[in-house]
Amino acid sequence: MALLNNELVCSICLYIYRDPVMLNCGHNFCRECIERALNTRHGSIAYTCPECRAAYLYRPVLLGNRKLCNIIQHLQEHSQERLQHSFVDLTRKKEATEKRAESLSEQKRKIQDTSDVLEKVMDTFFKMIIKDIKIFRKTALREISRKREHALMQVSKVIQELEIRKTELSMKIQEIHKLLNMADSITILQQEPETEDEYPQGDNTEINLDEKPINLIVKRCLSSVSWTLSEFTQLNPGPKVLEGLLDVKTACNYIRVSPDCRSASYVSADQGYLEGPERFNVCQVLSTCSFSAQQYWEVDASKAKEWIVGVAYHSINRKTMDDDAYIGFNNKSWCLEHRNCLSALHNKVREEVTLRSPVELLGVYVDYDSGIISFYQLGDYIRHLYSFSATFTENLHAAFYVFPDSCVTIHKREPRAKTGLLSRGSYVC
């Protein structure tokens, strides 16, 4: 094509020929270009071809090149058609880009609105709890102070009584000591001996701080906070736990699904599953249930050297071995892929995710209406790994790719919080 373009370019103006004409030497030029060149030679001894310098004694006759004219006309029409296609294609892409930008702007607005609502709800919720706790804290501290004063008063009273007894005993000891030093034995014999009952040792019962009212206040506080939490969770149910199991009908023939349909393992032997329209040709499996609301599930990847976990539409391609069938390599699926590194993947667009420690337990949270898919690393701390933002057009399934010598398992447990946020351990952004 480049060679053809060179043959159709005028050597004077370096553009495609316009009304091409030919000299007797065989070289072609735009009529206007060659006439202007010949005019500059008017009055000279001879005219020359601008390209080969062939000399003409008289002004050369310009011969129209009909064949070249037809080629150029056809080429221009073809160029015009290509430009028209490009115009239509670019216009369509521009409209799609504008639509996507509008969609993202709407998502941005939804995210802001949801954030504002959540902030108000959380603020109200924690204010209620803090208010209750402050009241019970004040009551508990006041009760501790009251019980402390009462116990200390009891101890002080006993100490005072013992001091009085101690003084009385000292006085009696002194009197006896005097009598012992007297020479008059008759006087000593006339003294009545003191009995032990006359000087009791007092009550030896231990005096302690009465903690029962304090424990009662703590229980009332916990009961009040629990009631507040219960009321709040009824108004804010949060995400549902993924109820569906792994769908054997979708599993590749080299994936073994456990009897409880929660684990998928790669095996080297063909499992001999019955062929069906839902079965993958590549090593993938979907969940039985689909969803179009908030959803949460956890995946144990501790027995997988490599793994791909994500979500996919039911209409994802299943009968090909091309890239289009793999989770994350099309516009019908989103995933987190752990191989040599951790990556987020959608429609073949890959973004590397920073990983501080190996992921053994993965949390996946989907807010369908807000168009959010979030992945979390679970453990002693909860770390946010990556979030996709999308506009969903179909119900979603949990989706898994299983590598050789690997097994992934869907955990069966309640969501870690009822408010849409994970709550196991400490949360780390």
Number of domains in the chain: 3
On whether both 227 and 366 belong to a single domain, the answer is: no
CB distance 373 to 366 below 8 Å:
yes
* Lowest pLDDT segment from 77-81, 111-115, 121-125, 234-238: 234-238
**Comparing C-alpha atoms, which of 265, 306, 298 is closest to residue 365?**
298
Both 249 and 281 in a single domain? yes
Q: Each residue of 142-157: b (16+ CB within 10 Å) or e? A: ebbeebeeeeeeeeee
Chain centroid, CA 138 distance in Å: 41
Residues 371 and 260: beta-carbon distance below 8 Å: no
Task: Render pLDDT for 200-227 as a digit per residue (tens, 0 to 9).
Answer: 555 566 777 777 777 777 777 777 777 6
Kindly state the average pLDDT of the residues 237-261: 83
Q: Are residues 221 and 297 in the same domain?
A: no
- Tokens 């898919």 belong to which residue? 373
Of the two residues 1 and 184, the one the predictor is more confident about is 184
Question: Does position 196 have pLDDT exceeding 70, yes or no?
Answer: no
At 278, list the tokens: 């839902």
For residue 194, report the phi and psi dihedrals to the nearest 5 degrees: -75, 135
Domain boundary among 235, 254, 289: 235
- Does 291 fall in a domain? yes
381 band by pLDDT with thresholds 50, 70 and 90: confident
Considering the domain architecture, whether residues 359 and 414 belong to the same structural domain is answered as: yes
241-245, 254-258, 334-338: which range is least confident on average? Answer: 241-245
Sequence-distant (6+) residues with CB within 8 A of 235 are: none
| Structural domain for 200, as ranges | 128-235
CATH number at residue 356: 2.60.120.920
- Say yes or no: 257 and 384 in one domain: yes
Mean pLDDT over all residues of the chain?
A: 82
Q: Is there a domain that residue 395 lies in?
A: yes
- The residue from 64, 85, 117 where one domain ends is 64
Q: Which of 180, 205, 235 is the last residue of a domain?
A: 235
